[in-house]
Amino acid sequence: MTSSAPALATPFRLFEVRLTKRTVLSPTFVRFTFTGPELDRFADNGLDQRIKLLFPAGDGFATLMRSPDDWYTAWRGLADEERPPMRTYTIRAVRPHENEIDVDIVLHGLVGIASTWASTAPVGSPLIVCGPNADFDAFHGGVDFHPSARTARILLAGDETALPAIANILERLPTDARGCAIVEVPDAGDAAALPSHPGFDVIVAARPSGGSHGDALIPLVQEHAARLLDRAGGTATSGTAGGPAGALSELEDVDIDEGILWEVPNDESGDDVPVYAWLAGEAGVIKALRRHLVSERGIDRRSVAFMGYWRLGKNEQN
């Protein structure tokens, strides 16, 4: 009899879960607690660790769980009506000893597969989560917060979809980290979903009623970026805030209708960095923020991580 070698652990794997609890955190956020027999093998990396939620479609779940090592090939091969739609989220908490995870989901109405599911799914509903595999013994990927070890000030900015990641980052940063976190949310009550940090100014601003995404966030980031640069010893307006040769960086345009707005530097140089910025949220708003920080404030583009978490008027798969 021949024995086959055990399959090598992959960085990400599928977990079958069931919804066990929904906890209303604030007017916009609901915390979904899931349990699953193998969640003790879900790696707890914190920060902005991203995951995929797969929603039910026909018998698609059964097909995917029959091919756990090569599920993506199986997923692509499924007929449209059998292929579980996927959406990207941030893992908010991992409790391996209780076989539980939490995901905080924005209810943005009965539009979109994820928001509709989150608004209507009863406790007990099945889901598949693609998340980091604790049996994989190296960097899993899917964490994009990588400041230099010698960063003086950190700027975290985003909308409600980035709030879970910003909350995780604040919880994992050492107490001697310094910076500012600015989050734009639909409702002032959403501030309850964000923790404090002793070294951070944490600012939660409600979007003005009838306003657009970015109306609160953009002016706040402009104001606080200048202040952070001053405190970090950079220059708020001269373009010498860690930029190469003191020159304001020219940015190529990113067409957010066609491409994905995503650039995540990983500075392992050990150089002193006055300000590291982490920006996530609606792509058009994030593009404007990045332009301000790099082109107008002169922050080195190698110290600015920017991520279009979603695009106004487009679903995640378009």
Ligand X SMILES: Cc1cc2nc3c(=O)[nH]c(=O)nc-3n(C[C@H](O)[C@H](O)[C@H](O)COP(=O)(O)OP(=O)(O)OC[C@H]3O[C@@H](n4cnc5c(N)ncnc54)[C@H](O)[C@@H]3O)c2cc1C
Interface residues toward ligand X, by CB under 6 A = 50, 87-90, 104-106, 108, 111-115, 161, 164, 309-316
Please give the Cα distance from 255 to 177 (Å, whole number). 34
Measured from the CB atom, the residue of 51 and 64 that comes closer to ligand X is 51
Q: Which one, 111 or 123, has the nearer CB to ligand X? A: 111
Question: Which of 4, 209 has the CB closer to ligand X?
Answer: 209
Name the minimum Å distance from CB 189 to ligand X: 16
- Report in angstroms how near the CB of residue 274 gets to ligand X at its nearest: 26
Coil, strand, or helix at residue 96?
helix
With CB atoms as reference, the residue minimizing the distance to ligand X is 112
Determine contact, residues 169/48, Cβ cutoff 8 Å.
yes
Q: Give strand pairing partners of 126.
A: 18
In the complex, what is the shortest distance from the CB of residue 143 to ligand X, in angstroms, rounded to a whole number? Answer: 10
CB closer to ligand X out of 141 and 219: 141
3-class SS at 171?
helix
Q: How far is the CB of 75 from ligand X (least distance, A)?
A: 17
Reported as type and span, the H/E element at residue 291 is helix 283-291
CA nearest 84: which of 56, 108, 64? 56
Query: Using H for helix, E for strand and C for coil, what is the string for 191-215?
Result: HHHCCCCCCEEEEEEECCCCCCCCC
Residue 16, amino acid:
E
> By C-beta, is 106 or 294 nearer to ligand X?
106
Q: CB of residue 136 vs ligand X: minimum separation in angstroms?
A: 19
Q: Minimum distance between the CB of residue 129 and ligand X, rounded to whole angstroms?
A: 12
User: Cβ closer to ligand X: 118 or 232?
Assistant: 118
Whose CA is closest to 134, among 245, 220, 259, 49?
A: 49
